[in-house]
Amino acid sequence: MCGIFGYVTSKEEAIGPILIAAAERLTYRGYDSVGAAALNGSKIDLRKDVGKVEEVAAKYNFAELRGQRGIVQLRWATFGEPSQVNAQPHLDSDGDLVGAHNGNVVNNVELREQFIAEGLTVRSQNDGETCVHAVERYLNRGYEFIDAIRLAYGDLQGDYAFVIGRAGDDKLYAFKKGSGMVVGLGEGFTCVSSDLPSILPLTRTVIRPQDGEIVTLWADHVEVRSVKDGKKIDRMPETVTESMDAVQKGGYPHFMLKEIHEQSQVARELIHLLDASPEIETVIEKMKNARHLYLIGCGTSYHAAAVGSVYLAQLAGRAAIPVLAPQFIAQYAPTVGYQDVGIFVSQSGETKDVLNALEAAEARGMTCFGLANVVGSTLTKATSFCLPLCCGYEISVPATKTFTNQVITFLYLAYRMANRLTSDLERIPELMEQTLAQTAPQVEALAKEINEWNDLYCLGYGATYPIALEGALKLKEITYAHCEGMLSTEFKHGPLSAVSKGFPILFVAGPNDVPLIISGLNEVKVRGARTIVIAEDDPRLRANADDLIVIPKSDPQIAAPLGVLPLQLLSYHMSVMRGFDPDFPRNLSKTLTVD
């Protein structure tokens, strides 16, 4: 989730400070590089590099940039490692166009090959440059700018928002498909951004373009046109009243809640990217032919690996061993070799325990792949290939969207190994949205009723067992209550003695596991427990559970990641009710770089 900002004014002025300030207001989105371009008459002044805004702006003196138009971009790497050449904005072949994007163009590799074959100058691996060349090639064929954008839009697959300008012109153009974009209208200027925070200090009068729309920005007005037919669209401006803090959090009181609700969008982007990744086939073949297959992670990432292990067994008939990274070193590393494959999972790509396990595996010759959210991290560089999670920056310490995208990645790999159509997975984002919408009120009410308890259990079976582990971890992380995640059938082997009147026990049930869950429900219910089930609607569960939190009907594999959403919401509400900040729980860090 990069950040972009474009600015158009009526006269040449010092726009460097404006671009720097806009970039600083987008840093909360997370980034690894920053760049700025000023368009002044027939000249384009482009400056960019890896690093923080204040560092890069000082090193390249962004403050001295002058012109009538400007673009600044903060990049979160997906295509191409963090580097100066991959940093945005990008120029076209002749240096007459400059543009930057937010999002992922999933057919980036294929388009780059086309551009090179057509004789265009391609300097980077970044899909932001692909957006520039997609417009350039139609301008080179004689099309007017709007028509060139319309044709480029048809070529660019994925989810993105893009802004572009041309030397010697007096305007900027912007268009979007799937990613956020907002246009600002001020006195003597207009601007466009991926997000409101970069705009609000300048103006609170905005227009919100929709997917498939092109915005042309002059200094004194803007024009919206349809990509489909090029016709003008009337769009009335609106006035934004929210505070800057509320806007950064998307109107949510905490980043955790915002990120819970972002899960459907990042899942959609991930599925598109996986479908377009040419490297996936290599990973699949290596996994199919492995003697032994290991899924290695810590904490939340380990829970995702455990879900993945169930998927691979159930769908592809392939055994995969999920293992905590430190235990891998002691239990499996001495036995592995070149015939084995490991997938090392880490949100940050810097988790020390995972990197230690990777080092031990590589020393034995094992083929090692990665799964991480931060491109350019140690894990992405040290493995043969690293699948990106495409979650953007996750500010809240408790992992939410990174967990669900890890699970979806494993589900995608299992589908591919089983030769099943991955198009079936495209319904997951909509199902996630439905789950959040229909369970949120019930979960918040439930949180009030069980918040007094400082001991809970969360139980699951099969693919929902790791979901129960993850739900229990979330409750521990941010409510500071002790919640133990457990295989539901194990509860009778000792923990049953902890049950007392009203004791809350959470069950996450897959659609095929209802009879087994009913048995577990009754063995605790007759001892006074309050039984709370997260599952698809089922009359048997309604008859046996005290509370049924209903998720949409799907299938046993998709039900698992849907089941974690109410648990995330429950932990969030209980944390807030206890007066804690769910974004920054005590004693915890987002990236664990120590043994």
CA distance 502 to 447: 14
Instruction: Return the H-helix or E-strand segment holding 176.
Output: strand 172-177
CB distance 511 to 528 below 8 Å: no
Selection from 394, 390, 134, 118 nearest residue 277 by Cα: 390
Report the candidate in 149, 124, 123, 122 with the shortest Cα–Cα distance to residue 138.
149
What number of H helices and E strands is found in the chain? 19, 25
**Best CA proximity match to 136, nearest among 173, 172, 97, 171:** 97
Q: Could you say which of 2, 191, 298, 368 is catalytic? A: 2
d(CA 288, CA 260) in angstroms, rounded, equals 33
Tell me: cis bond preceding 322? Omega within 30 of 0 counts. Answer: no
Backbone angles phi, psi at 383, to 5 degrees: -100, 160
Distance CA 579, CA 459 (A): 27
Closest CA to 240 of 182, 188, 193: 182
| Inter-CA distances, 58 with 20, 55, 64, 495, Å | 10, 5, 10, 59
Q: Catalytic: which of 286, 352, 525, 590? A: 590
> Residue 554: how many CA atoms within 13 Å on its side-chain side?
25
Annotated active-site residue 2? The verdict is yes
Task: Give the Cβ contact number of residue 580 at 10 Å.
Answer: 15
Q: Which of 309, 291, 394 minimizes the C-alpha distance to 347?
A: 394
DSSP annotation of 496: G
| Helix extents (H) in 395-486 | 401-417, 428-450, 464-479
Q: Which residue has the tokens 């691996």?
A: 125
The CA-CA-CA angle for residues 486, 488, 491, to 5°, reads 75
Residue 231 appears among annotated catalytic residues: no
Q: Which residues have C-beta within 8 Å of that of residue 237, sequence separation ≥ 6?
A: 185, 205, 206, 207
Do β-strands 182-186 and 189-193 pair in parallel, antiparallel, or remain unpaired? antiparallel
What is the identity of the amino acid at 97?
Answer: L
The number of angstroms, rounded, from the C-alpha of 342 to the middle of its chain's C-alpha atoms is: 23
**How far is the C-alpha of 154 from the C-alpha of 145, rounded, in Å?**
15
SS3 201: coil
Whether residue 570 contacts residue 546, with contact meaning beta carbons closer than 8 Å, is answered with no
Residue 420 phi, psi (nearest 5): -95, 155
The CA distance from 316 to 418, in Å, is 4
Catalytic residues: 2, 590
